[in-house]
Amino acid sequence: MNKKILNLLIELEEFGKLNFMFNVPRETGELLNLLVKIKKPKKILEIGMSNGYSTIWLAEPGFPVISIEADPKKIILAKENLKKANLKNIKILQGFALDILKNIKEKFDFVFIDATKKEYLDYFKLLKLNKSAIVVADNIISHNILHYHEFVNKKYKSCLIKIGSGIEVTSID
Ligand SMILES: C[S@@+](CC[C@H](N)C(=O)[O-])C[C@H]1O[C@@H](n2cnc3c(N)ncnc32)[C@H](O)[C@@H]1O
């Protein structure tokens, strides 16, 4: 991680707290970054981009990212932040995740879910995933998203990691 991007992330952490961007905590960002570096996915999907804080952690290793965000004001901020980070291989899809996921043709190797909590399982069921894909979902503990947790644990290898707001990491085999 270069110093320019790290400084930007620190700046965004302050901005996010003051302006209700609901960004993931730093430790979750660090884990996302590490998982992407290990997995080396051909294509990453993010559901819930906000102003691009988690997108920067996901995109920094250099693999292509598609990110979904409903709020056009947040997309403007995200574009500015991605430009500042000099990260280019990111396509933003504006709209509601359920609508977009129904029409998306691509398959993904790595997905990060962080949008409307009660829709997590619906997002998951609409995903087109490559074999051995990894799906990470935030706020499992903070928002008590038990139906998602139980579903992925019954069907796949999955682990609830108790950092930040509680993230579920699921491996699709
Ligand atoms: C918790 S924030 C995401 C924070 C971001 N992942 C980060 O850590 O920087 C959730 C975002 O999802 C967006 N969102 C919520 N429901 C959505 C939906 N159904 N479709 C698309 N975006 C949605 C919100 O506008 C908000 O910006």
Alpha carbons 173 and 169: distance in angstroms, whole number: 13
Instruction: Quote the DSSP letter at residue 52.
Output: S
Claim: this prediction has a pTM higher than 0.85: yes
Does any ligand 1 atom lie closer than 6 A to the CB of residue 97? yes
Mutation test residue for ligand 1: of 12, 13, 44, 49, the one with most atoms within 8 Å of CB: 49
Does any ligand 1 atom lie closer than 6 A to the CB of residue 58? no
Query: Averaged in consecutive runs of 10 residues, what is the pLDDT profile of the chain (173 residues)?
Result: 94 96 97 98 97 98 97 98 95 98 95 97 97 96 95 97 96 91
Question: What are the DSSP E strand ranges found in the chain?
Answer: 44-47, 65-69, 90-94, 108-113, 129-137, 157-161, 167-171
Does any ligand 1 atom lie closer than 6 A to the CB of residue 32? no
When divided into structural domains, the chain yields a total of: 1
User: In the prediction, which pLDDT does 1 show?
Assistant: 83
CA neighbor of 138 nearest in space, from 63, 57, 81: 57
CATH code for the domain in which residue 144 is found = 3.40.50.150
Does any ligand 1 atom lie closer than 6 A to the CB of residue 45? no
Domain of residue 55: give its range: 3-171
